[in-house]
Structure formats: C-alpha cells, structure tokens
Structure 1
Amino acid sequence: MPLHKIIHINENTTAYFWHITEDVTSLFRAVSLRDTSLFRLEGMKSEEHQRGFLAVRMLLQHLGYTDYDLTYDEAGKPHLSDGKHISISHSHEFSCICISTELMGIDIEKLKEKTLKIAPRFLEIKHLENLSTPDKIAKATVIWGVKESIFKIKNEVGISFPEHIFEDEFNLIDGKCSAILQFNNQIEKFKIHFYNVEAYIFVCAFPKK
C-alpha cells in the first residue's frame, strides 16, 4: 500500500505513515539497500520487524531519499545525509518516519489492553483515575509514547521510564502535554504532541528551548 497518512506537526516537522499490507518479498524488491542494511535485515528473525524495516525505506524513497541517505551513529540513532533530523518508529501494521529541522523523537504504538496491564510499571496510576477502560488504554499508550519519544531524543544509557521521565497532567482531547526528564542531576523539559492514527497512538516530543 502507498503512503497512508501525513501529519504536519508544525511548520518545520512532518510525519509520514506507511500502512504495511505488502509481504517481505514485495517490499524487498521495491527498495535498494546498503550492505549494512541488508545484513541487519537478514539478522531479523521476525517477519513483522522485517516488514517494518523495509516500509521505513519505502517512506524514504517516497520522499526522495534512499537507504544510502540514512546512517546510524554508535548509539543507534538515525541521521540523514542532508542534516535534517529524523526519527523512526514502527508497530505491527504501521511504519512511521518524522523529518524536521528541529530535534525531536517519535513513537507509534498500537492500542491494546496489555499496555494498561503493565501501566503501573511505567506511570503514576493517578493519570488513569475516573476514565473509561478505552480511555485508560489510550492514555497509558500516550504516556508510554511520551517516554519512548524522549528516550529517543536523549538516547543515554541508564534512563528509566518510571524513575526519570515524568509527564504533567493532561486530557486526551488536548492532543498536547508537557514532560520532564530528571537525569544526571539535570532537569530537561519537553513539549509533546499526540494523535490517533487508526487504532494507534502517535507521539512526537520536542525539547523545550
């Protein structure tokens, strides 16, 4: 399937979504891969991960990039050859890339009950009080995405979701919230945007200037 959705988060930042309906062979034939990417692909045991990986390359090609324009640093953070910031995420049937002139991090997660079951491990339960079960699942998924997105920006060993990343109170209808990272005797603030994309939650985090 071609490009599924585009979200213009701000004037500098756009997210692109690929709904993965193709099999691995079809995706593989449609993209050109560097040797290092081919090696990574061959090492993936899950077909779902392979499809997600290849769908990211489909998105890059749609935007005029190729796999050769994408590199990863020693910490595994992606970079584009033109100097723009890129963040990548995939979950089940969706892959997403976000490109910006600003530093940012993204996450896409499928709405599922499992997230609610493990919620006490990564969030304060007060966030879920007085909500219906569907809204609890959605809010827990947003909070997980907040923490994952901030982690992608910082990408530092030792950061703990429950111990170092804290989100302010927010309502699902707002589509925005704030969060802080308390780590290594520093406090950093982030602004968050979140969206529903089919049966998924998409989150994008920016450091506050």
Structure 2
Amino acid sequence: MPLYKTLNPNSQTTVKIWKIEESYDDLIQPISLKPESLKRVLGMKSELHQRGFLSVRHLLAEFGYTDSDLFYDENGKPHLKDGKHISITHSFTFSGVVVSDCEVGIDIEKQRDKIGVIAHKFMDYESQYLNTDCTDYIRKLTVIWCVKESLYKLFATPGLSFLQHTLVIPFEIEDCETIAWIDYNNRKYDYQTTFLEFEGFTCAFALPKS
C-alpha cells in the first residue's frame, strides 16, 4: 500500500504514516540500502520487523531521503545528514516518520488490554486523573504511553525514566492533543503533543511548546 496518512502540525513539521501490507520482497526491491542496513535487516529473525524496517525506508523516500541520509548516534537516536530532526516508529502493521526543523519524537502502538498490567511502571501523576473504570481506559493509557515514548525518543538521554521524569496533563480522547512535561536534573521542559487513532492503533508525536 502507498502512504497511509500525512499530517502537517506546523509549517516546519511533517508526519507520514505507512500501512505495511506489502511482502518483504516487494518492500526491499525498490530501495537501496547501505551495507550496514542490509546486514541489519537480514539479521532480523522476524519478518514483521524486517517489513517494519523496510517500510521506514519507503517513508524516507516519501520525504526525499535515502537510507544513506540516515544515521544513528551513540544513544540510538536517528539523525539526518542535512541537519533536520527525525523520529521513527513502527508497530505491527504501521510505521511512522516525522521530520521537523525542531526536536521531535513519535510513537505508534497497538491498543491492547495488556498495557494495563504495566501501567504502574510508567504512570505516577497520571493515575490521579485516569480512572480504571472508565470505558476508554485502555485507549487513554495507550495515549499516555505513546506520548511518553515520544518524549523519550525526543530527549534521548540515558537515565530518563517514564515514571520519574515525565508527566502528561489530563486530556480527553476527542481533544487529540495535550501538554506533556519532562522534569529531569532540576530542569523542566514542556511539549505540545498530538495524538490520533486508526484501525486499533494510537500514534502520538511531541514537539517543543512554542
């Protein structure tokens, strides 16, 4: 399938989402991979992961980039050679890439009940307003996870804890946005976060609050 969705949250930022329906062979044939990327994809034991990796390269092409334009730093954060900021995600049958002039993070997750089992590991402040009995509990929990994962990718700092250093301001699903904070080493950073749902998945991305 071609591109699934394109979003432009501001004039400096573009989000592109891909629905992964193609086979591994169909995904790998049209693109050129640098040797280390080819070695990485061939070493993946799961075809689902391989297809996710390759779909991200197709998204790069949608932005006008190639695999050679992408590199990773010592913390595993992706960068583009032209200096623009990038964040990458994939989950099951969807992948996403956001490119911006400012620091940015993105995450996609499948909405699953089992996220409730680990809620205590990534939520502290949010448990004060999130009622486990509400009908959209799992959906809201998934939004919180995606927002925090986006912050983690954006900040890319070893030692950052979802539980101790991040918080998400109360929101409703229909809001499609909220404010989130990182409180780390006695400094506070606030971010504008946007979220959306499609086909049982949640996507969130974070940008510095202007």
TM-score (norm: length of structure 1): 0.93
| Partner Cα distance (2:182, 2:13) in 1 | 22
Alignment of structure 1 residues 22-41 onto 2, 5 Å: 22-41=22-41
Runs of 5+ consecutive residues of structure 1 not aligned to the other structure: none
Aligned to 1:115: 115
Q: CA 1:138/1:69 → structure 2, altered by over 3 Å: closer, same or farther? A: same
Q: Provide the rounded CA distance (Å) in 2 between the counterparts of 1:110 and 1:196.
A: 10
Q: Residue in 1 aligned with 2:199?
A: 198
Cα distance between partner residues in 1 of 2:133 and 2:191: 25
Q: How far off is 1:146 after superposition?
A: 1.0
Please give the root-mean-square deviation of Cα atoms over the aligned residues, in Å.
1.5
The 5-angstrom pairing of residues 46-125 of structure 1 reads 46-123=46-123, 124-125=126-127
- Match runs of 1:155-166 below 5 Å: 155-166=156-167
The residue identity in structure 1 corresponding to 2:200 is: A
**Deviations 1:34-90 (Å, cap 9, x if unpaired)?**
011112212222211111000000111233211111111121111112221111000
Indicate whether 1:146 and 2:150 are aligned.
no
Question: Structure 2: where are the runs of 5+ without partners?
Answer: none
Please report how far the alpha carbon of residue 140 of structure 1 lies from its aligned counterpart in structure 2 after TM superposition: 0.3
Whether 1:170 aligns to 2:171 is yes
- Distance (Å, rounded) in 1 between the aligned partners of 2:28 and 2:91: 18
Deviation at 1:109, TM superposition (A): 0.8
1:43 paired residue number:
43
Do residues 127 (structure 1) and 129 (structure 2) align? Answer: yes
Between the two proteins, the alignment pairs up a number of residues equal to 208
Residue 118 of structure 1: SS of its match in structure 2? Answer: helix
In terms of mean alpha carbon deviation, does 124-133 or 74-83 score higher?
A: 124-133
Secondary structure class of the residue paired with 2:159: coil
Q: Cα distance, 1:130 vs. partner?
A: 6.9
Between 185-194 and 119-128, report the one with greater CA deviation. Answer: 119-128
Are the aligned partners of 2:75 and 2:158 in contact in 1 as well (CA < 8 Å)? no
How many angstroms apart in 1 are the aligned matches of 2:9 and 2:44? 32
Contact 2:20 / 2:94 at 8 angstroms: preserved in 1? yes
Runs of 4+ in 1 over 2 A off after TM superposition: 124-128, 130-133
Q: Which stretch shows the higher mean deviation, 139-148 or 19-28? A: 19-28
